Structure 1
Amino acid sequence: MALRNALLASLLDGEASGYDLAKTFDASVANFWMATPQQLYRELERMASAGLIEARVVRQERRPDKRLFRLTEEGRRALRDFTAEPPRPTAIRDELLVKLQAVDEGDDAAVRAGVEERVEWARGKLARYERLRLRLLKGLGEEEYLAGAERVGPYLTLLGGIAFETENIRWGERVLAILERRAAVREAR
């Protein structure tokens, strides 16, 4: 159900193809919801069958025809109903955290490598999010943008993604420093 709502919210920006929606997910929605292109296309078909979106076919020369999706009034109503519901609490399910929990009994070099990879991944995402933020602002200051933008939801979710990845980097760097200090103490013994 959450993928459906994320797609409905993405279509608030206007008509889009499945390919466009996959790119949008990768660039912005991925800071709060992950989905593969196959999952997106399957959900778009279900949404069209349920009357939440409509599709029209655009003929293309030298390329396969493409389908453009847009919200129906029923889809807008479903999105309004969704936003009126209180959110469910989230839970973290993270394999790296399980490995970190067991680091004292396992291969701490492999766990450190996992944390380093997480930090680098977060830095890459943070850089993409910052580029997207600058694109959204279009040279405006944040307050000026927020006061005049037609839609602020994408920017607000982007701020959440920026905060999340910034904290991932801070946490990962601290974990690595602690593990390195512990390794140095073990070696000194």
Structure 2
Amino acid sequence: MALRHAVLAALVDGEYSGYQLAKAFDIGVANFWHALPQQLYAELAKLEREGLIAGRQVVQETRPNKRLFHVTDAGFAELEAFATATSKPSFIRDDLLVKIHAADRIDSGTLIEQLTDRASAAEAKTALLDSLLVKMRGALDEDEFLRSGTRIGPYLTCLRGLAFEREHRDWCLRTAAVLRERGAARTEQRSVRTEEGGTARAES
């Protein structure tokens, strides 16, 4: 998958400015594709040159003028072709997991701190996604919305993001607890050995 497909998918609901697209990525699309604002602006320019999106200038009296972009027929055809391609299996690539893999040989204190920070960030994202899902389905409950909602794609991807953030939060908290418990046990063992060594020296 290329960034172009994520941008096209984000634009299927109508016209977005570059700023609005960046906000959409920050809130919703980030569940499955991360991109920096400068990458998005560059991709918009490229897609427009290739005729996959079209832009129009909007004159604003009290603010700088802006360009709004929408997907063209060629862009929708690109999405259709992308949808028919075989999807590759997902995989994890996380520097924190590399650190945890080496947890038996490095200071667990810094790892516990990083795990706690990650858990807090995941909890905040969970709350954001929960509120976004409520906003998308409006007065409908989830089952009814999934049966009859007019636009369920973003809702389904947010559900996946919510499940990921909850699981990630729980894993971080559990891992931090395990490292904390093991660290306390090692400290206690060292203390016992020190006391036993002192007793043995005193007796001799």
2:111–2:176 contact (8 Å) kept in structure 1: no
Matched position secondary structure for 1:13: coil
Shift in Å at residue 86 of structure 1? 1.2
Shift in Å at residue 132 of structure 1? 0.2
Q: Does 1:176 align with 2:176?
A: yes
Unpaired runs of at least 5, structure 1: none
Q: Does 1:26 align with 2:26?
A: yes
**Pairs within 5 Å for 1:147-186:** 147-186=147-186
Q: Which amino acid aligns with 2:20?
A: D
Matched position secondary structure for 2:86: coil
Superimposed CA distance per residue, residues 100-153 of structure 1 (whole angstroms, 9 cap, x where no aligned partner)? 111121121111111111111100111100010010011211121122222211
Pairwise CA RMSD of aligned residues?
A: 1.0
| Correspondence for 2:70 | 70
Q: Which amino acid aligns with 2:115?
A: V
Tell me which stretches of 4 or more aligned residues in structure 1 moved more than 3 Å. Answer: none
| Correspondence for 2:135 | 135
In the aligned structure 2, how far is the partner of 1:89 from the partner of 1:145?
Answer: 29
Shift in Å at residue 92 of structure 1? 1.5
Higher Rg of the two aligned structures: 2
In the aligned structure 1, how far is the partner of 2:149 from the partner of 2:52?
Answer: 26
| Correspondence for 1:11 | 11
In the aligned structure 1, how far is the partner of 2:126 from the partner of 2:22?
Answer: 19
Shift in Å at residue 20 of structure 1? 0.8
TM-score after normalising by structure 1: 0.97
2:137–2:149 contact (8 Å) kept in structure 1: no
